[in-house]
Chains A and B, each alone.
Chain A
Amino acid sequence: MSLTAFKRALWVYHLNTGSCNGCDIEILAVLTPRYDAERFGIKLVGSPRHADVLLVTGPVVRQMVSRVKRIYEQTPDPKLVMVVGNCGIEGGVFYESYSLAGPIDQIIPVDVYVPGCPPRPEAIIHGVVTAWVKLENLVKQEAA
């Protein structure tokens, strides 16, 4: 796998849409010295306007719907959405709860799914790399 079209670090914006924080803790673990994702050029940023990937956790509660859509719209192109955790994928333990508007792919288009409750850091890193490869192809398509 050669990453040549996307010539800079991959910046990721983490969006919590009502998660229990289990996935968020695993995302933090990805950044700790044990896994150290930043050595691969994967970096968490504080604004979607700087991001290449939206990393979404949580099952999307009703109050978050407009915010999720707005944050997705505010992310510059080319962008990818990655869902971490079962809740965002199909509701998880909150399945069919009255307060949910999710799963996430019913609200914004999703490119990469990382299942687990919570997923292990290795799985999250694998998901980010998968997103990176997709982004690489997007950049190549835009350049062509």
Chain B
Amino acid sequence: MTFILESGYAFWNPLIWIIVFIVVMLIVYFFRRRGQKGYKKDTDQAQIFLCGEEVPEAEQRHIRVGNIYWGFFETLKEYYNVILRPHTGIINDYILWFVAATAISAIILFIAGLGK
């Protein structure tokens, strides 16, 4: 049994992938063995170096993902302030907007139809 799956253009063999995985793990193990052994886990030696400052919690020292949009929010602040006002989160308001928009569209279509 060769375990070879042929597609007509290429082939896929799990045994080759297992061998590749083992070789990669051996390389990783080799480099890991050559690493610094002096470190003591669960001490300050494993902490981040911030010029001697106290290391804050992960939530405090990472930039939140929302911060990448800061420039957009700041530039379009006026626009967002207007747009956010109708977004109340109440379903009745959204239905009212839907009905109003549908009614306005229907009126526009009706008027446009009269001309033909």
Residues of A within 8 A of B (CB): 15, 47-49, 64, 66-68, 70-71, 73-78
Contacts and interface: CB of A to CB of B under 8 A. Distances in A.
Contact of B38 (A64, A66, A76): A76
- 5 closest Cβ contacts across the A-B interface? A67-B52, A73-B44, A76-B38, A71-B52, A77-B38
A44 B51 CA distance: 15
Given A47-B49, A67-B52, A68-B52, A73 B43 contact: yes
19 contacts: A47-B49, A48-B49, A49-B45, A66-B52, A67-B51, A67-B53, A68-B52, A70-B44, A70-B53, A70-B54, A73-B45, A74-B47, A74-B49, A75-B45, A76-B38, A76-B39, A77-B40, A77-B45, A78-B38
A87 B107 CA distance: 87
B36 interface: yes
Contacts of A78: 38
| Dominant SS among interface residues on chain B | loop
Contacts of B40: 76-77
